[in-house]
Amino acid sequence: MSDVIPAGHKSISYTDLAGSPLQQLNSSLLDKAGVQLYVKRDDLIHPQFGGNKWRKLKYNLINARQKQHHTLLTFGGAWSNHIYATAAAAKDFDFNSIGIIRGEKHTPLNATLSFAEKCGMQLHYVDRNEYRQKKESHYLQKLKQQFGEFYLLPEGGSNALAMKGCEEIVDEINAVLDRPFDTICCASGTGATLAGLVKAIKPEQSAIGFSALKGGSFLADDVAVFLKDTAPDSSDTSADLHRVNWRVEQRFHFGGYAKINDELINFMRQFQSQYGFELDAVYTGKMFYGLLTLIEQGAFKPGSIIVAVHSGGLQGNKGFNL
């Protein structure tokens, strides 16, 4: 599969956007724990569709173009990073786009949906009962009758092609570090990013997904399904699916998806002041809070190299007036 996505009269290569810096953090906490912490700054890939959203979109856009689709259709909530990123990428790569939005339309539109609409995305609002049908074939067929042919991007952009894009994060890190990292961490909402990382790391390395959701135990099962579906022999339900070198950390969700409190906000502000870059309240703020808590508790052996993936999503902070 080529890394070039033709866009209108021009060809935009993923290599124009490829890669992101690996930034080492320094603090007395890290010195005391004896660990090295690096941040994979995927938030810097692109101002509108950077982070893990671009990792997930990359091969899907290539596939959509190769299959001669002109329209992308996807799903998300009112403050969805995925809706925001898909609308921006569709505009840049000359696709039409349709967003199926969970909930009623409220005017004026919030910053996320207003941006998506300005990018040319057609917004279609559905109630929660209808939204739950987003994976059902009869409902997708209904959408095709309503909107015509489209390339389907699942909620969050999470599928096997998304995993393929996320696997490249590990390759880029390995090309920079002098020795292999021990643990890689990411925020988890659907499990696709974590699954991509798990698939790319070696057995002696580990991966932790920090759930942004309350009751996120199902994420481990979802990761296992992603791994199973992309395994060479997808009928083998045991090999490599629940490897001991990865897990979902469920203790730092702050009450659930998109739930925040003063403790998290104060942490994010202190983090930005200390390290010089912003976190988002839904995903990376919770991940870094959890990761630094684990480091302080001595959860990692001295001498460990840890990499945390900054998956972007900063536009969502507007929903909290941050």
Q: Is 2 a residue whose pLDDT tops 70?
A: no
Residue position matching structure tokens 């969050």: 156
User: What 3-state DSSP class applies to 150?
Assistant: coil
47 pLDDT higher than 50: yes
**301/304 Cα distance (integer angstroms):** 6
Among the listed residues 176, 203, 143, 140, the one whose alpha carbon sits nearest the alpha carbon of residue 41: 176
Distance from chain centroid for Cα 309: 9
- Strand partners for 275: none
The stretches of the chain forming alpha helices (DSSP H) are: 28-33, 51-66, 81-92, 111-118, 128-131, 137-147, 160-174, 192-200, 218-229, 262-275, 284-296
Q: What is the mean pLDDT of residues 64-90?
A: 95
- The whole-number pLDDT of residue 243 equals 58
pLDDT above 90 (res 207): yes
* % of residues, the chain, pLDDT over 90: 80
Assess contact for 196 and 165: CB atoms under 8 A.
yes
Model confidence band, residue 101 (pLDDT cutoffs 50, 70, 90):
very high
pTM (global) more than 0.85: yes
CB 151 within 8 A of CB 67: yes
Residues 119-130 as b/e (b if ≥16 CB within 10 A, e otherwise) read bebebebbeeee
